[in-house]
Amino acid sequence: MEFQAHQIKDILKIDYRYTMGGQSKFFIELMNNKKLLGTKCTKCGKIWMPPRINCSECYEPAEWVEMKQTGTIDVSTIVWYTTSAFIKAIPYGIGFIRLDGADTAMLQGIFSESLIPSKVKKGKKVRAVFQKEREGKMTDFFFVPEDEYEDWIAKPEYEGGSE
Amino acid sequence: MEKVAIIGVGITPFKARYLDKTYFELAYDATKLALEDVNKQGAEITHKDLQSTVYGIYNELFERQFMPDIFINSYIGMNNKPGTRIASGGATGGYTVRMAFAEVASGLSDLCLCLGVEKCNDCYDVQTGTTTPEVLNAIAYSADMTYEYPMGMMAASSYVSMVNAHFEEFGSPTEEQMALVSVKNHGNAIKNPKAQSPMKITVEDVINSRIICYPFKMLDCCLYSEASAALILANEEKVKELKIDNPIWITGVGAANTDCFIGNREDMGRLYSNIYAAKAAYKMAGLDYNKIKEQIDVAELHDAFSGQEVISYEELGFVPFGEGGKWIEERGPMRDGELPCCPCGGLIGCGHAVGATGIMSTGEAALQLRGDAGKHQVIIEKGRGLAHSIGGPGAAYAAIIIMENQEAKK
Ligand SMILES: [Zn+2]
């Protein structure tokens, strides 16, 4: 007799009130003041972005510093097929952005009117654009090529940073 | 430290989905196959002789069960003995072999079961009516949840970042060079009856397949798979007691976790974990990073994505940096090349059943060294082989296992 499988529908779901702990200031300043804060190690001077309040290399505290909102694309890709949580957003650009002055690069969305590989290539200058409605999350901002900045901040849902 | 040998290998077929088996039933099948493999060599052991288990299971969300190892422990009749679970992303299998090695090398266990399993395709995305987007989402939770998951980061976009950075630096691997890996591994899988994706394809087929994540196409990516793989490891005394004449000795284990934030790395076009794991494994085995290609017969590499296999040729020391693409153009890693890489089909050919994968790769290399690989057997002259596992956010985890058949050298 042919095997008959029995399948059930199920879902795993957990609600959180997750604390950002020592990183909280980054998210509060992002949400309230459209500032991007990094941290600078009190010993070696390394600038961490995304920030960490302790230097993982020196085991010494790192202090908050306000970063420039311009930077350079270190590497990027354009995503055409993805997870269930993001599939409605395809295609989208993401890349590692090195803010001017930072020693590390951060992953962020790269928005562009023409989302083609040459537009989001290594070395391209980008600038941060902010959502008008912010929640204190990484999705509160994204980067655009510098020459598209004025067009993006003119859109009703976005605005420029406080820099 | 005790000497440690692989004396049994059990691998279930890699399939898109087992409707007729749960993860613990699959794990039972691989265990039984591994015991049968030991007994084929003249021994008479049962699961009751196994003293401990190291489990490789990556993702609780796939299995719909936290601590899945304890439920396997019950099902395979290993109650009242020690069992430890390893979870290290795509490198889970390799890391599990490393810890099972440590279990025996340390003297904690004389006969240890190293068991990996994964069953991902019970995940189901209701909005598209397909499994893959939900499987990818279950994996994407392995990205940093604060800074990276919210950006839509996933396995392919993580690996492609490193491959793109490597291309920016060296002009390689090109899309054609990456496609050659896919052609090779799908082709090698034709001779492996346990592989999920045997295919005779061309470079053009790969390049014309659907774009996933620039420049990775569908055929550059492995498929997620369901399977289990088991090894039985023994110390020298047990090998003698059981009269195993063809033990495959584990002579080197190397592992390293590099920074999981790609943006923190000095050079984004490197899978640093590969380099550190390879150097550690070769050093332990008394091999030379700069001559390794001449010192081994076979390499089962972790080719989750074609471009990553090309970079691994360089980082594992087979060829200098920037020359991996050229090496595959010159047929170096082909079945009949200088150093056959992934003769079983690798992940692209077999599928990727995460926790089982690195154990399958290690088992496949061991079978090759024993001369028991079947239709996909390659020529063994030096008696040495390598298995490679890598994974996690930004490919942060890597583990490399060196094996040797000391009879083959005589
Ligand atoms: Zn420091």
CB-CB under 8 Å, A95 with B161: yes
Q: Which of A34, A58, A27 is nearest to A127 (CA)?
A: A34
Q: How far is B133 from chain A (nearest CA, A)?
A: 4
Q: Can you give the pLDDT at residue A41?
A: 98
pLDDT over 70 at B353, yes or no: yes
Does A132 touch chain B if contact means CB atoms closer than 8 Å? no
Across B104-137, b (16+ Cβ under 10 Å) vs e yields: bbeeebbbbbbbbbbbbbbbbbeeeeebbbbbbb
**Domain encompassing residue A69:** 21-160
pLDDT tens string B71-113: 999 999 999 999 999 999 999 999 999 999 999 999 999 999 9
Q: Which of B119, B132, B164, B210 to mutate: most A Cβ within 10 Å?
A: B164
Mean of pLDDT values over B124-147: 96
Q: How confident is the model at residue B44 (pLDDT cuts 50, 70, 90)?
A: very high
pLDDT of residue B171: 97
Inter-chain CB proximity B268 and A96 less than 8 Å: yes
CA of A53 to the centre of ligand 1 (A): 11
The parts of chain A modelled with pLDDT lower than 70 are 163
- Counting the structural domains of chain A, the total is 1
Tell me how many domains chain B contains.
1
Domain ranges, residue B103? 4-123+224-241
Per-residue pLDDT band at B409 (split at 50, 70, 90): low
Interface contact A84-B127, CB threshold 8 A: yes
The answer to the question of residue A84 being in a domain is: yes
Q: Which residues of B touch A75 (CB under 8 A)?
A: 161-162, 164-165, 168, 262, 268-269
| Segment B182-186 mean pLDDT | 98
Kindly state whether residue B119 falls inside one of the protein's structural domains: yes
**B154 vs A20, A82, A96: nearest CB:** A82
What average pLDDT does chain B have? 97
pLDDT, one tens digit per residue, over A73-90 is: 999 999 999 999 999 999
Residue A116 confidence (pLDDT)? 85
Residue A3 falls inside a structural domain: no
- Does the predicted model carry a pTM greater than 0.80? yes
Centre of ligand 1 to C-alpha B88, Å, is 28
Residue B410 pLDDT greater than 80, yes or no: no
Domain annotation covers residue A89: yes
* B5: number of Cβ within 10 Å: 25
Residue B408 or residue A109, greater confidence: A109
Of B350, B18, B302, B346, nearest to B196 (Cα)? Answer: B350
In a domain, A101, yes or no: yes
Torsion on CA atoms B277, B120, B186, B232, rounded to nearest 10: 50
- Name the residue in chain B with its Cα closest to that of A108: B151
Residue at B258 is within a domain? no
B48 vs B328: CA distance, rounded Å: 46
pLDDT given for residue A162 in this prediction = 82
Q: Which residues of A are less than 8 Å from B269 in CB distance?
A: 75
Residue A3: Cβ-neighbour burial (10 angstroms; 0-12, 13-18, 19+): exposed
**Residue B11 maps to which CATH number?**
3.40.47.10
